Amino acid sequence: MTNVSTERAITVTVNGVPRETTVPVRRLLSDALRHDLQLTGTHVGCEHGVCGACTVLVDGTPVRSCLVLAVQVDGKEVTTVEGLARSDGRGGEILHPVQEAFRECHALQCGFCTPGFLMTMAAGLEARDTSTDITEDEVDEIVGGNLCRCTGYANIKKACRHAAGLMKEAAE
């Protein structure tokens, strides 16, 4: 067996804040976020990249943090669910449209898969032309890669449409 205690110092910007930490090279990004940085909003549902609960953004792109080693994000920017809302400058927060939509549309029940859906959906909606109405194909594409065992997805799809509408309004 290789020397499992091999560690490496990494610098990663998490939710806009530069963080320096030393991690074992085998440490998963999901574990580094949850256990080293104590950002427990990112959830681990399968640890084999299928469920999507652990999805975070790396340089703006959704990735499954259980399939990425922490050392692979050295020098990169990571956004987790804790970084999705913006500060309102007065100590409060302004929710991202996908967060607003999830609450409005009852798109979560137990909430365990929710952070992964939110990150995937935020990236998906931000990547499209927000001035246009979203199509059902787009909704299916954005929602289709994550597992949820509670909601049956109907309200998650509804939230996706609602969030797209909010973003369209904001763009107008």
Partner 1 sequence: MTTKLFGEPVRRREDLRLITGRGRYTDDIGHGAAAAAFVRSPYAHARILDIDVDAALDVEGVIAVYTYEDLVGPMAEPLPVLIPHPQLTAPRTGYPLARDVVQHVGEAVVMVVATDRYVAEDVCDRITVSYEELPVVVGVDAARAAEHAVHEDVPDNVAARHHQETGDVEAALAASAHTLSFTQYIERSACMPMEGKGVHAVWNHDDSSLRVHTSTQASTSVRAAVAAKLQLSLEKVEVVAPDVGGGFGVKIVHPWPEELLVPMAAIALGQPVHWAEDRREHFISSAHEREQRQEITVGYDDEGRVTALDVRAWHDNGAYTPYGIIVPIVTATQLVGPYAVPVYRVRIDSVYTNTVIVTPYRGAGRPQGCYAMERTMDRIAQDLGLDRAEVRRRNLIQPDQFPYDHHLTFQDGRPVIYDSGNYEGLLDKLVALVGWDRAEERRAEAAARGKQLGIGMAMYVEGTGPGPYEGGHVQVLGSGKVLVSTGLTSQGQGHETAFAQIVATELGVPIEDIEVVTGDTRRFGYAVGTFASRAAVMSGNAIALAARGVRAKALRIAADVLEADVDDLEIDEGLVQVKGTPGASIPLRTVAVLSNPLRYAFDEAARQATQFAGPGDDSKPPVAVGDAPGLEHVDYYSPIRSTFASGAHAAVVEIDPTTWEIDVVDYAVVHDCGNIVNPMIVEGQVHGGVAQGVGGALYERMAYDADGQLQNASFMDFLMPYASEVPDVVIDHQETPSPLNPLGLKGAGEAGVIPGTACIASAIEDAVGRRIAAMPISPTELYDLVRDPDAELVPTREGAPA
Interacting residues with partner 1 (CB under 8 A): 1, 4-5, 24, 26-27, 31, 34-35, 38-48, 50-51, 53, 80-82, 84-85, 93, 95, 99, 102-104, 106, 108-115, 118, 140, 143-157
Cβ of residue 83: shortest distance to partner 1, in angstroms? 9
Of 99 and 130, which CB lies nearer to partner 1 in the complex structure? Answer: 99
Strands 7-14, 77-79: pairing kind: parallel
Cβ of residue 155: shortest distance to partner 1, in angstroms? 6
Of 73 and 139, which CB lies nearer to partner 1 in the complex structure? Answer: 139
Other beta carbons less than 10 A from residue 3's beta carbon: 7
103 with 138: CB under 8 angstroms?
Answer: no
3-state SS of the chain: helix, strand, coil percent to 5?
A: 40, 20, 40
Of 48 and 129, which CB lies nearer to partner 1 in the complex structure? Answer: 48
Of 116 and 172, which CB lies nearer to partner 1 in the complex structure? Answer: 116
Cβ of residue 145: shortest distance to partner 1, in angstroms? 7
Cβ of residue 102: shortest distance to partner 1, in angstroms? 5
Interatomic CA distance for residues 34 and 28, integer angstroms: 10
110 with 136: CB under 8 angstroms?
Answer: no
Interatomic CA distance for residues 65 and 162, integer angstroms: 27
